[in-house]
Structure 1
Amino acid sequence: MNHGITRLIFLLMLLTTPAWAQPAGTIKQVSIHSTALAGNLVGDPADQTFAVYLPPSYETSTKRYPVVFLLHGIGDTNDVWIHHFNVPAMLDDLIASHTIKEMIVVMPNAKNRFMGSYYANSPITGRWEDFIAQEMVARVDHDFRTLATAESRGVAGLSMGGFGAIRLAMHRPDVFSVIYAISPCCLDAIEDIGYGNSASWNGLLRFKTYKDVDTAIKRGEFYPVAALGLLSAIDPDPAAPLHVKIPVQQVGHELMPREPEYTEFRNQFPLQQVSRFRENLCKLHALAIDYGFNDEFAHIPPSTAAFSKALSDAHIPHLLDTYVGDHRQQVQERLATKVFPFLSSNLKD
């Protein structure tokens, strides 16, 4: 073969063969029947699925890996991590560049009839905290090669998922030791989730049945349904209409707190419970929270800042990170540069 043809073949190979084939992780879809969710009053299924990212070396090694549970926000499903934020490809890149260690990432689904479960135990919507912290953890540890200790298990979440991560930190430090809450919602009952948001509460007060709620979702009425979902999760009353305590009332044309319901409602929020769960929070290996200054959910910046101050006042170690940005626009970049590196550096392997 003459040198000209040989050189042509070589050049074609250079053009058509990647210089470096990066190892890729895999996604497994797992089905699970939940005793914790069975018999809930809103009709959500006890049969659920969740996604699991296995790192590139998983199929060719016998090693065990730290685990991160990644909790989505209200209105989303766990698909948001895979198809919107591109988490599997992101993890592949971070692992290949040695920015993070190899880890298993578990992505539960927590969307329910009210758009979100808030990852809370409730006699109305089901025991979602138990589903995550007990049933799913046990299933993942059984089915996959995990490092099955709290020191090697973390949880991170966005918005409603951040709220869930913080509550898991408060309630389950024996299960999760490293926590990252991304723009956590609902840390206190102020502004857009407090009684001052007339659109939320007026819409909620019009609901008579769950069919009214279904209709509101179809019309795109986010806030009244989110308010009912939050009440169902953290302040339920199985004997009441809609199975919740209503913390506001209409007086003339004004909305006013209804007591003692409003005080009881506000006391369910993480900001009000820091001192109660201080011992558990101090057991964590690492805790981080963040928010963007331009978050369109107006309660998130002040309530997250207030929550951080309450942690500091209680001498609970944590990291608060703030940035210029809104609720979702920079999430992908922050997962890559802040969240996963924080989890990786603090989880035991």
Structure 2
Amino acid sequence: MPVVIEQFESEALKGNPLNDPHIRKIPVYLPPSYRRDPDRRYPVVFMLHGFTGNSTMWLNVNSFYQPTVPERFERLVSEKQSGEMILVFVDGFCGLGGSQYVNSEATGFYEDYVIKELVPFIDGKFPTLGTADKRAVAGKSSGGFGAVYLALRHPDVFSAFASHAGDMYFEYCYKLDFPKAINGLYRYQQTPDPVGAFLSDFTLAEQKGKYLDTLNILAMAACYSPRAGGGFDLPFELKTGEIRPEVWQKWLEFDPVLMLDKSEYLDALKSLKGRYLDAGSRDEFSLHLGARIFTSKAASLGVKVHHEEFDDGHMNINYRYDRSLAYIWQTISG
């Protein structure tokens, strides 16, 4: 399984507000024929990890010896369910847990890092076919959101997306967790900076799991409602829990379901060769409902989305890449 790990230096991430590294590890899976056929060129898929993930997690074997995503893909190729493609595993981690692959003055310019830097770098260093019609983006959860978001904003870069339980229909997938975040911040309300005090405790905590519900909402606020010059606004009043409509509206501008209300994004969706959504029917974050709503809305606007639902929850669903990578190959190989 030929995988090389590039040390990629990003100008877009240099000097980011969280002081996260601007040099990132980018694993690149190369097909078996790569070395023996130097003149051959390949389609490429940019793979986006989820919240709290990183680029090397794709290479980890779990406790039950389930195959890694590169191993799964090699099996797909050997079984003739897919042809050979290059897979690029993007590092979108930030100090708050994840960047959503968007540009933000609170986290950094991750959209620019992917679109303006990483895509040209990969085309320049590896034997890709080098055109949008042979390039796709895929991911799960926050990475699934990133896949849809980047494809809608950059149909000149990607011609297909695959989203597994991607964040969408924010009324369900985020808003219902606001009370958890408010409760998580409650003990810090008497401090001058409740969010800063929480983040300080999180940084020092040995057991971070109990903080993740709150951290997730703070990270999303940093991505969706950053302040000019740094920092971010919460979409609710910390003391009362009341929704702040002007801040919540900023979040909704990123919701893939609502992005379809804008002609530029609807036109982008129509122009794509491949549109794949799936989610487990027991997704704990209601992302199966978001996928249903996006698919139904797209259909009402004259666009067919390939949509699947399966009997599972949100976690440990890497086996679904068997479906999406085969779909992507069928979509962009012709």
Q: What TM-score, normalized by structure 1, do the two folds share? A: 0.85
In structure 2, distance between residues paired with 1:189 and 1:94: 34
The answer to whether residue 126 in structure 2 is matched with residue 144 in structure 1 is yes
Displacement of 1:90: 1.6
Q: Give, as a single letter, the amino acid of the residue that structure 1 aligns with 2:155.
A: P
The answer to whether residue 266 in structure 2 is matched with residue 278 in structure 1 is yes
Displacement of 1:348: 2.9
- Counterpart residue number, 2:174: 193
CA contact (8 A) 2:27 2:88 kept: yes
Q: Give, as a single letter, the amino acid of the residue that structure 2 aligns with 1:347.
A: I
- Cα RMSD of the aligned pairs, angstroms, is 1.9
Q: Give, as a single letter, the amino acid of the residue that structure 2 aligns with 1:64.
A: R
93, 98, 106: which one pairs with 2:88? 106
Q: How does 1:79-228 map to 2 (within 5 A)?
A: 79-84=56-61, 86-185=68-167, 187-194=168-175, 197-204=178-185, 206=188, 208=194, 210=196, 212-216=198-202, 218=205, 219-220=208-209, 221-228=211-218
CA contact (8 A) 2:295 2:304 kept: no
Displacement of 1:289: 0.4
Partner-residue secondary structure (3-state), 1:260: helix
Displacement of 1:151: 0.5
Partner-residue secondary structure (3-state), 2:279: strand
Q: Give, as a single letter, the amino acid of the residue that structure 2 aligns with 1:282.
A: K
In structure 1, distance between residues paired with 2:128 and 2:183: 47
Distance 1:168 1:139, change over 3 A: same
283, 298, 313: which one pairs with 1:311? 298
In structure 2, distance between residues paired with 1:125 and 1:45: 12
In structure 1, distance between residues paired with 2:267 and 2:155: 10
Distance 1:283 1:231, change over 3 A: same
- Counterpart residue number, 1:22: none
CA contact (8 A) 1:204 1:225 kept: no
What is the percentage of aligned positions where both structures have the same residue?
A: 26
The answer to whether residue 26 in structure 2 is matched with residue 50 in structure 1 is yes
The answer to whether residue 320 in structure 2 is matched with residue 341 in structure 1 is no
- Counterpart residue number, 1:233: 223
- Counterpart residue number, 2:64: none
- Please say which of residues 147-156 and 127-136 is displaced more in the overlay: 127-136
Partner-residue secondary structure (3-state), 1:76: coil
Partner-residue secondary structure (3-state), 1:129: helix
Q: Give, as a single letter, the amino acid of the residue that structure 2 aligns with 1:35.
A: E
In structure 2, distance between residues paired with 1:86 and 1:281: 30
Aligned residues: 317
Distance 1:268 1:92, change over 3 A: closer
Larger Rg: 1
CA contact (8 A) 2:148 2:163 kept: yes
CA contact (8 A) 2:221 2:235 kept: no
- Please say which of residues 261-270 and 68-77 is displaced more in the overlay: 261-270
The answer to whether residue 239 in structure 2 is matched with residue 244 in structure 1 is no
Displacement of 1:214: 4.4
Q: Give, as a single letter, the amino acid of the residue that structure 1 aligns with 2:156.
A: D
CA contact (8 A) 2:177 2:213 kept: no
Q: Give, as a single letter, the amino acid of the residue that structure 2 aligns with 1:303.
A: G
Q: Give, as a single letter, the amino acid of the residue that structure 2 aligns with 1:235.
A: S
Q: What TM-score, normalized by structure 2, do the two folds share? A: 0.89
CA contact (8 A) 2:9 2:22 kept: yes
Q: Give, as a single letter, the amino acid of the residue that structure 1 aligns with 2:302.
A: H
Displacement of 1:319: 0.9
CA contact (8 A) 2:47 2:89 kept: yes
CA contact (8 A) 1:190 1:303 kept: no
CA contact (8 A) 1:196 1:255 kept: no
Displacement of 1:150: 0.5
